[in-house]
Amino acid sequence: MRSILLWALVFLAAASAPLPGCASPSPPPGAEAGGEASEPVRAQACFPLAPLPPRGEAVVSVILEIAPGFHVMADRGAWEGREDFRPFPTRLLLLEAPEGVIAEPPLYPAAEPLPVGFTERPLPTFAGRAAIHLPLRLELAPGARAVRLRLRLEFQACTENACLLPERRELEAHAAVAARGESPRAADPGLLDDFTARRAAAAEAAFELLGIGFRLDGRTALGAAGILLLGALGGLLLNLTPCVLPLIPVKVLSLSRAAADPRRCRRLGLLILAGIASFWLALGLAVAGASGIASAHGLFQIPAFALAVGLVLAGLAAGGLGGWSPRLPGFLYRLEPRFDSAPGAFGVGVLTAVLSTPCTAPFMGTAAAWAASRSPEAAVLAFLAIGLGMGAPYALLAALPHRVGRLRAAGSATELVRQTMCVLLLAAACYFAGIGVQGLLPGLFPPRAWRFPVAACMAAAGLWVAWRGPRLAARRGARILWAGGGLAFAAAVFAAALAPAAPDPVAWEPFGEERLARAQAAGRAVALVFTAEWCLNCRALEEAVWKRPEIARRLSAPGVAALRADLTTGDPAARRMLRRAGSLTVPFLVIYGKDGALLWKGDFYTAEQVAALLDRALAGP
């Protein structure tokens, strides 16, 4: 009893001291003046920098004073991926503001882990004195003299043994608007410094490529422009991924047909660019809104969409080979759905962008994740930059019609390239359709059964080159090269498809929040790999990195947990963890040390780099 009275006196003394820059935090409605010792949380909203500029940036802060022995549940972001406990998270909402006041997402304090007995993982909480900052953008009407905000703070206070009912408390903050020539003053320098540091951490984007890392500060115009330019560079590099390569000859040959008319050629190139950019713009709008699509590859987590893409590709491939021509309604024929027509060029641009989403490129995922965490406008701009970067080569190529026209002059060789690429496009159709069918009808076919029709199409492409290529060559050596190359390619594909699947040298564990927590609690290093069946880059890294003996040996060590997060069908926990790790695309790798600290994360890496990182993780702090 004496200790309870002592804690009450301490809390009353703390509550009676005014906070710098703010009035004393107010008790909840209905409490007596001066507050009651039994009230565990007092809160006050204030502007740490005032008076406010009529145009520019500002911040309103909500300060919580939490009584000793109590804590409140942390914000929703700190609980992402947790399935073991469903809390009432702390949340700050702007209910009412004058015209011209735009709120950005709140910046919550770092959560304090609280060990409890009913779950293995500690609970993320706030305790003591905690500040929540709400950044504002101001475009006030001329003559505005003051800003008054009405906010709602939602929280749940708990002790180690019990929780009180959730509370929703309304708060007000008001400040004068600066007159002409008047400068704002720091009402609470400490609070302002805390906001500045938190805003800086949230604004930085960390890029990593093959061991070379750097950061850009998105708060500055130069930093934000740099992030968008790197996103565009990632879009440009997407053209070199296996998702897009089969369509490149189709687009180039389409432009070559129009090379005789430079104006038409340039128009088709711009339409391909417009089709690519339009898809990425729409995807950015979907990610920024409440569509449920949280990443660039989110569409392929829908099996029906993957199947539909496979069917479209099959139709394009068959039509390109001349062996199939569907009978469509008459009005569709008036649209001239050919690649060298305006609708066809725009459509092939959209299709190229759709096919690119299962792959990723350096810088692209980090730029998109940074933008999506900032504001809807930033997300839309980042995805548009990716699309413009991806479509830029076709617009540039179309601007040089005399060079594109040389492809047209190649005659039969060009036709052979077109036919071969159409057969490879049919292989891509089998791949996406197979992924979709296996997602819609799980268990009906063996895992990765799609590899057999894919291999058959790829081998057919090699055999066709071996058959047709020698007929185009005038010299004996060239004929041997055509025939030998095609046969060797077909034989390699057949051998790979018919060879029995080798056992995975790494005993991967499926990702789960509980499994990750247990591994870190046991002091083990963690390699967390994000992958998916439809991700072609993931398949390449699986062969080039994860099946290497030196990597498998390190991942099999007792002090390492090898976790694999499969996003084939959009597992919610894996998707949340990927976004929390700072990416929207797969493949992605995160490595934690034995102390649970993040050592490295990135989307492109080599076996040598991973081996060095695992050695560092095993060595401990």
Interatomic CA distance for residues 609 and 587, integer angstroms: 16
> What are the DSSP E strand ranges found in 23-128?
41-46, 49-50, 55-66, 71-73, 91-96, 101-103, 112-114, 123-126
> Average per-residue pLDDT in the chain?
76
Q: How many CA atoms lie within 13 A of 358 on its CB side?
A: 30
Specify the pTM.
0.49
Question: Range of 606's domain?
Answer: 509-619
**Whole-number pLDDT of residue 32:** 42
Is residue 185 domain-resident?
A: yes
pLDDT at 323: 45
Decide if 57 is inside a domain: yes
pLDDT (mean) for 448-476: 84
Q: Rounded to whole angstroms, what are the CA distances from 115 to 86, 296, 331?
A: 16, 37, 67
Cα Rg, the chain, nearest whole Å: 30
pLDDT at 34 over 50: no
8, pLDDT greater than 50 = no
Q: Among 202, 234, 252, which residue terminates a domain? A: 202
| pLDDT, tens digit, 9 for 90 and up, residues 52-102 | 888 888 889 999 999 999 999 998 877 766 666 778 889 898 888 888 887
Tell me how far apart the alpha carbons of residues 198 and 221 are, in angstroms, rounded to a whole number. Answer: 19
- Whole-angstrom distance, CA of residue 321 vs CA of residue 224: 46
**Between 299 and 427, residue with greater pLDDT:** 427
pLDDT for residue 427: 84
The CATH number linked to 86 is 2.60.40.1250
E strand residue ranges, 156-292: 157-158, 167-176, 185-186, 204-209, 212-217
Residue 171 is predicted with a pLDDT of: 94
What does the DSSP assignment read for 593-606?
-TTS-EEEEES---
137 located within any domain: yes
Q: What is the mean pLDDT of residues 155-164?
A: 89
Residues 417-421: contacts with CB within 8 Å, 24+ apart? 417/249, 417/253, 418/249, 418/250, 418/253, 418/320, 419/320, 419/321, 419/464, 419/468, 420/461, 420/464, 420/465, 421/246, 421/247, 421/249, 421/250
Residue 15: predicted pLDDT: 36
Strands 41-46 and 55-66: antiparallel
Q: Is pLDDT above 50 for 43?
A: yes
Integer Cα distance of 140 and 136 in angstroms: 12
Q: Which residues contact 328 (CB under 8 A, 6 or more apart)?
A: 337
Q: Does residue 62 belong to any structural domain of this protein?
A: yes
| Separation CA 467–CA 461 (nearest Å) | 10
Phi, psi for residue 441 in degrees, rounded to 5 = -125, 70
pLDDT for 333: 38
pLDDT digits (tens, 9 = 90+) for 58-71: 889 999 999 999 99
Cis peptide before 442 (omega within 30 of 0): no
- The pLDDT confidence band at residue 33, using thresholds 50, 70 and 90, is very low
How do strand 123-126 and strand 157-158 relate by DSSP bridges? Answer: unpaired
pLDDT confidence band for 202 (50 / 70 / 90)? low
Confidence of residue 19 (pLDDT cuts 50, 70, 90): very low
pLDDT in tens, 516-566: 878 887 889 999 999 887 776 777 778 788 888 899 999 998 889 999 998
Is there a domain that residue 55 lies in? Answer: yes
Q: What is the CATH number of the domain that holds 565?
A: 3.40.30.10
The pLDDT assigned to 251 comes to: 64
Share of residues in the chain with pLDDT > 90 (%): 11
Residue at 591 is within a domain: yes
* pLDDT tens, position by position, 467-511: 888 887 778 888 888 888 889 988 888 887 777 666 778 889 999
In sign, the C-alpha dihedral spanning 483, 484, 488, 494 is positive
598, part of any domain: yes
Lowest mean pLDDT among 251-255, 332-336, 472-476, 514-518: 332-336
pLDDT band at 515 (very low <50, low <70, confident <90, very high): confident
Q: Does residue 450 fall inside a structural domain?
A: no
- Residue 204 scores a pLDDT above 60: no
Mean pLDDT (whole number) for 120-148: 87
Q: Where a domain ends, among 185, 202, 219?
A: 202
Q: Which of 131, 135, 136 is nearest to 194 (CA)?
A: 131
Number of domains observed in the structure of the chain: 2
- Domain boundary (176, 202, 228) is at 202
Residue 500's pLDDT is what? 67
* Residue 7, pLDDT above cutoff 50: no
pLDDT score recorded for residue 102: 78
